[in-house]
Each structure stands twice: as C-alpha cells, then as structure tokens.
Structure 1
Amino acid sequence: MTSQLGKSLVKSKSSLPYKLPGGKIALPDADTYLRTLAGAALYMGIPTQTIRWLGRTGQRKAMWNTLRWMARCVRQHLDIRLEIKGLKLIDPLEQYVVIPLHEGFADFLGLVELPLQMRFVARDELFHEWDWLGPFLRDTGQLEICPERGVSSYRQLLRQAGKVFAKGESLVIFPQGSILGIEIDFTAGAFALARHFKRPILPVVLTGSHRVWEYPFSPRLRYGQRMSIRVLPPILVEEALRRKPEELRLETQKRMKTAALYANMAAPRRFIPERDGYWDGYAFRIDPAFPELANNIQAHHATKNKII
C-alpha cells in the first residue's frame, strides 16, 4: 500500500540518516547501511534476474524453487526468526485460495515456505509505481487489481483466477487488502472467489513481519525480528458451499485474529490513525470487533465531509 500520503509519512517520520538509493529503505548507522547495501546488491542481481527469466519462460516449478531459496537467504541475511506451525495441514497437490493476514512487504519472506506453488494478488500501484518491483511481479505472473474499483476489480480477478487454478497453482489473496493493521476488516472477495471456483480456503495467520520493514509508514529496516506463521485447518469446499458466505467470513476472521492476538505469536501490527494517517481514498473498513477505532474513523470522515 503506497500513495502520496504514504510517501509524505515516510518523509516526515523518518530521521534515519542512512538511506539506500530510492529512499524506501533507511538504516540507523553506517555499519548496518553497508550490510544492507551488500545484501541488496547480492540478491537483487543475478538471483532476481534468474527468477524473472524463469517466470517469463513459463518454468514455474524452477521459478518457485529459486524464489524459496532466495527468500531463505534474505531471511538469513536479515536474521529473521521465522516460526511456522501447521504446515502438515496443507495438501501440496491441492489448489487453495490462501488467505493470510497482511502486515507488509516482508510477508512474502514467510509465505513462500508454504509447500505450494502460488500466485499473489497485488495492488495495481505496485506494478506501475515501483521501477524494480513492477517488472518482477509481471514476469513472475502475479495478479494485478485495484480494490478501489469494487465490483469491476472482482470481475477482473475472476477472469485471471481460473487460469491460475487450471495450472495447478494456489492463489494468495490478502482478505484485508491493506497493511494498516489487524483491525482492518476482511472483504468478501476471497470467500466469493473460492465458492465460484469450488476451491478450499487456507487461512494463514501471519504476524510480526511489519517490524522487519515499516514501509510506507517509515523506511526503517530492522534486523533480528521475530515473524510467526500459523496455518489453520483448511475450509473444505463442502463446508464453504454449505455455510452462508457472510457467516463464514466473520467466523474465519474471528478465528484468525484471535490466534494472532492470543496464541503466543509475534505481536501483530496495530492501526493508530494519529500515527499512521487516515489513508483517505483507500478502500478499507474497520472490523466491528474494534468499535473504538471504527468510531474514530467514522468521526474523521464525518468531519472531512463537513469541511468539503
């Protein structure tokens, strides 16, 4: 999630003196800066270009093997302590709609450990506003959407998703559609898509990745952080078709967020508008389970509309 507001947040809230080229990553001291610069030069060179080439030439299995290798190297470089539970619940031959909690760009470094070949649904701005990330996403076949377009965005996703499942791959959809924090409400899109294609849903509780890299709230990169992943039992197709979609969405959201908050995982990211901004113009809702924050956001929009 980035925007002009995000860029201004980074600029105004960062006093870190050592920034990598581009300004999106910053470090507190020269030693850490040199360490990070060396890692970026190593992993964004030949490994990244190899992954892009494998993606362009349709060698998906080799591409994913190389991606996992690179992600493990990057985690080791960053000293990330990754804790994963529940991998045995996953059938490697199944095509899931994978629904992880969403905290930041570092989510990917953990999610690639799922024993699946996957494609990720990502915001359109990541494809068009990032010089290095956009080509990488396109070459590796990730799916582009604009959540602010509502129903038309979902229809676009439907057109793309069928091809993903037909190739034997799973589709990763972040149901919050935002990295603001655990308080963001799940949307119905992932659940509707799973029903449409009759695919099982794989809930993945992920916490702690926001501490690795805080962008767009700050460019700060941290070493030695704890990241937790807990895979919950898949929601089988029969259950998803039997249950009311809204009931299933709410129950799944409650189970996942309860685990994130109370299951001895790394602390999840929390949304504090006074610190993070209100992100006007972005499509998100506050989970009703957090009424104080919901009232805060509602009051902000009411005040803004009066001014307009």
Structure 2
Amino acid sequence: MRLLRSALFNLCFYLLIIVLMLAALPALARGGEAIESHARRWARWSIALLELICGVKVEFRGIENLPAGAAIIAAKHQSTLDVLALILAVKHFTFIYKRELDFIPLFGSYLRACGQVSIDRSKRAGVLGQIVAAAKATFAKNRRLVIFPEGTRRPVGAPPLYKAGVARLAEATGVSCVPVALNSGLFWPRRQFMRQPGTMVVEFLPPIPATLDKDTFMQSLESRIETASDRLIAEALAKDASLARPSAAAGLSRS
C-alpha cells in the first residue's frame, strides 16, 4: 500500500510542478513577489498532497526565533521536503542553490526571475565571494537568505559535513544566523522512491550572533543543529519504530 501511495504522490507532485509552472508564466514578466507567491502555492499544495496521499504532516517549531528582517537561515538538509517547508515558513526568502538547477527548463527561469542565487560549485575559489555579494544585496532588501551549510542533502545518520562559508558570510555581513533542525529524511529520504507516514518537524533555533569568531560560530552551529536534529529523529522513531534504519541509529549514537 505504501508503494502505491508513494507512486501516486510522486506522479501528482511532478504533474503539479508542470501545471503550476505553465500557469505562472505571466508572472515571469513581473518577477519578485509574484513568483514568490506561486512558489508558496507550490509548497503548500505539495505538502497538502503529501499528507493526503502518504500521511506525512509538517510541523513548525520555534517560529518566534525568526527575526523580523534580514537573517541567515542555516538549515540541515536531508530531503526535498526541506525546501518546501522552508518556502512556507520563511517570508521573503532567497535560497542559495547549485547552478545545475538553472538548466531545468522553465524552473531555472523562475529561480532567476525571483532573485534566488545560483552558485557554480566547480569554481571553488570564487564561491564565497559570490555568496557574500549575493547576501549583501539580499539583506539590503530586508530579505532572508536560506543556506544549507553542508552543501547538499545528507542521509539520516550520516556524519555531519559543515562548511565554514556560513561563518564567513555572517562575519562579512554582520547578520545573525538562525540554525534549523529537522527530521525530514525519515519521511522523504533522498534518492528514494518511498514516502513514509509520520510528522516531519522543522525547528528554528535561537539565533547565533555574527560577532562570534569563525571556529566558535561553526562549533555552535553544528552542535545546535545536530543535537536538535537527533532529538527530532529520536522523537519520531519513538512514535513509529518502523521508521528506524541503521543509518539513523548511527546518527543517534554520535557524541
């Protein structure tokens, strides 16, 4: 039954993307808020389909930790579901994303038109400069910059692989950073077909000031995100033991 539900959801999810991209074509000329509104609709309807078909709910915690204006949102990244949830929760968002997404027909056009920031990861020497320049322009518009400090999706239980760029970004801009913990990989695992029922939790943690030195900043960021994410994973596994996987157990045993 879960296989059939997963197949139905995946079909509906990709059809929804196509339909909404076509419906939003007039918004390409306007860009900005018009496309952001369509992105929220995509996220909201996708999550509604996920709950209806596969029984996956999304819960937000710690919303009060989001500053009213400019902020760096540094999130754990385990799943495509993270992006959908953050689009819903973070107003005036600007995502840092890999340049390869620019080449997806229409989808890349929408990303560029609404001011999202692509990074060419093959040019390692210039990546940080690209991000800092984009961040300064983003914060000047009082927007929130969403970044995944590990750079890509990581399976549940995988050893953390944080990059120091987020600390340098905070130092260069003077903007505080809100860490985000989650447990989405239990329900929508990366590179897997199956969707597992349960409650994905997205937890916004207290901000980290930009005044900390790089090593202290990164230690605090990694510790907060990993500790909270392990707690959220443990809560989910306690409710439904069928979610347990060897990789998840390895992550929970990490000291």
Please confirm whether the aligned pair reaches a TM-score higher than 0.5, indicating the same fold: yes
Is this contact kept in 2: 1:100–1:173, CA < 8 A?
A: yes
Alpha-carbon distance between aligned partners in 1 of 2:231 and 2:60, rounded to the nearest angstrom: 16
* TM-score, length of structure 2 as denominator length: 0.79
Aligned partner of 1:214 in structure 2 is 190
Aligned partner of 2:73 in structure 1 is 98
State the 1:125 CA deviation: 2.1
Match of 1:163 among 120, 133, 137: 137
Aligned partner of 2:240 in structure 1 is none
Alpha-carbon distance between aligned partners in 1 of 2:102 and 2:117, rounded to the nearest angstrom: 9
Match of 2:88 among 110, 113, 123: 113
Alpha-carbon distance between aligned partners in 1 of 2:13 and 2:135, rounded to the nearest angstrom: 34
> Which structure's CA Rg is the greater one?
1
Match of 1:86 among 42, 58, 62: 62
Q: Deviations over 1:209-231 (max 9, x none)?
A: 4632532xx3x042634311111
Q: Write out aligned runs for 1:1-308 (5 A).
A: 28-29=3-4, 33-34=7-8, 36-45=10-19, 47-51=20-24, 53-54=26-27, 56-60=29-33, 62-79=34-51, 80-92=56-68, 94-128=69-103, 130-131=104-105, 133-181=107-155, 182-209=158-185, 211-212=187-188, 214-215=190-191, 218=192, 220-222=193-195, 224-236=197-209, 240-241=210-211, 243-263=212-232, 264-266=234-236
State the 1:121 CA deviation: 0.6
Provide structure 1 residue ranges, at least 5 long, that are not aligned to the other structure. 1-26, 273-286, 292-308
SS of 2:149 mapped into structure 1: coil
SS of 1:134 mapped into structure 2: helix
Is this contact kept in 1: 2:136–2:173, CA < 8 A?
A: yes
Quick check: which one's helix share is greater? 2
CA gap 1:76/1:197 in 2 versus in 1, 3 angstroms: same
Is this contact kept in 2: 1:208–1:225, CA < 8 A?
A: no
CA gap 1:53/1:158 in 2 versus in 1, 3 angstroms: farther
Alpha-carbon distance between aligned partners in 2 of 1:117 and 1:78, rounded to the nearest angstrom: 24
Q: Deviations over 1:66-92 (max 9, x none)?
A: 322321211111112112110012233
SS of 1:228 mapped into structure 2: strand
Provide structure 2 residue ranges, at least 5 long, that are not aligned to the other structure. 238-242
Alpha-carbon distance between aligned partners in 2 of 1:185 and 1:209, rounded to the nearest angstrom: 16
Q: Over the residues paired in the alignment, what is the CA RMSD in angstroms?
A: 3.1
Runs of 4+ in 1 over 4 A off after TM superposition: 50-53, 263-272
Is this contact kept in 2: 1:228–1:266, CA < 8 A?
A: no
* TM-score, length of structure 1 as denominator length: 0.67
CA gap 1:177/1:56 in 2 versus in 1, 3 angstroms: farther
CA gap 1:42/1:208 in 2 versus in 1, 3 angstroms: closer
State the 1:187 CA deviation: 0.8
